[in-house]
Chains A and B, each alone.
Chain A
Amino acid sequence: MNILSAFIVGLVFGLGLIVSGMGNPAKVLGFLDLAGAWDPSLAFVMGGAIAVGLVAFRIGGQRARSFLGHPMQIPTARQLDKRLVIGNALFGIGWGLAGICPGPGFILVGSGIPQGLVFVLAMLAGMLAFQLLPKR
């Protein structure tokens, strides 16, 4: 049951990325280009998603289990450390280079765009590299 719901959620998430314009790297770069002709559209994507998310986490935060009976696994980490800042800085540089973040990478692959496949394979390699690093 949780497999079916995860598949449907992936579909809905993907449709949202396509409809919103996040699936178009040129549009993402247009949003990140403050000094050029700025396209603020993607701020509306974040706004719309967070508006729904605020309600969802308000409801979900009060529950011990999900509607399907799974434990609610909400992150508990609170530390603001170097790892958080450096990791997100590296991510931001990569995002600004190609205009692709993880979700839209999968949308490009699903759309049959070869550049998307190259990006996603490199992204998986980057994730794997992190996992294989010795943990302190």
Chain B
Amino acid sequence: MTLDWTHFTPWSALAGGLLIGLATALLLLFNGRIAGISGIIGSLLPKPPKGDSAWRLAFAGGLLAAPLLYSLFAALPASQVDAGWGTLVIAGLLVGFGTRLGSGCTSGHGVCGLSRLSPRSLVATLTFMALGFTTVFVTRHLFPGVLA
């Protein structure tokens, strides 16, 4: 294994992680809800539940507004999407369907679930991490260029 020292950013990663943890803590302690993004958004479909939708939309609005707020103080960090349009559609469908079937994503299982020491979320996190690693291995090393 070789480490990519040029892109290694432990301090900003840790600082960002602490902010994500803070957001998780605030939503739990003030709203009594789990900061699981796929669940917050997915529960709005197929039609928004009465009396339980406004906070979900407000949360999504905050997420969408974050880049604008950030850009008022500093230039947004570079963001590079290598996936082509077809790959993006397939990836989006899998992420949307999979997170609903599996009851969570990186935030709901990975951050909240592990924080409350849930065995179910540990299994979920190990599963999506393992498949994430495997998928990148297959598309970059086993069949390079398969996504091009």
With beta carbons under 8 angstroms apart, the residue of B70, B92, B111 that contacts A53 is: B111
Interface string of A96-136 (1 = CB under 8 A from B): 11111111011111111101101111111111111110000
Q: Considering only CB atoms and an 8 Å cut-off, how many residues of chain B contact the other chain?
A: 113
Q: Shortest beta-carbon distance, B18 to chain A, in Å?
A: 4
Q: Among the listed A61, A83, A112, which residue makes an inter-chain contact with B116, where contact means beta carbons less than 8 Å apart?
A: A61
Interface residues of B in 133-147 (CB under 8 A from A): 133-137, 139-141, 147
Do the beta carbons of A118 and B89 come within 8 Å of each other? yes
- Main SS class of interface, B: helix
Chain A residues with CB below 8 A from B28, complex form = 56-57, 60, 66, 72
| Shortest Cβ gap from B107 to chain A (Å) | 6
Question: Known contacts A50-B115, A88-B109, A92-B131; is A110 also within 8 Å of B66 by CB?
Answer: yes
A126 to B76, CA, bound (A): 29
Interface residues of B in 3-27 (CB under 8 A from A): 3-4, 7-10, 12-27
The closest CB in chain B to the CB of A70 belongs to B32
Asked whether A128 and B46 contact (CB < 8 A) given A16-B22, A18-B76, A102-B95, the answer is: yes
Q: Of all chain B residues, which has the CB nearest A121?
A: B92
Beta-carbon contact of B62 and A11 below 8 Å: yes
Complex CA gap A92/B130 in Å reads: 7
Complex CA distance for A113 and B124, rounded to whole angstroms: 29
Q: Closest chain A residue to B137 by CB distance?
A: A35
Say yes or no: B22 contacts A12, CB within 8 Å.
Answer: yes
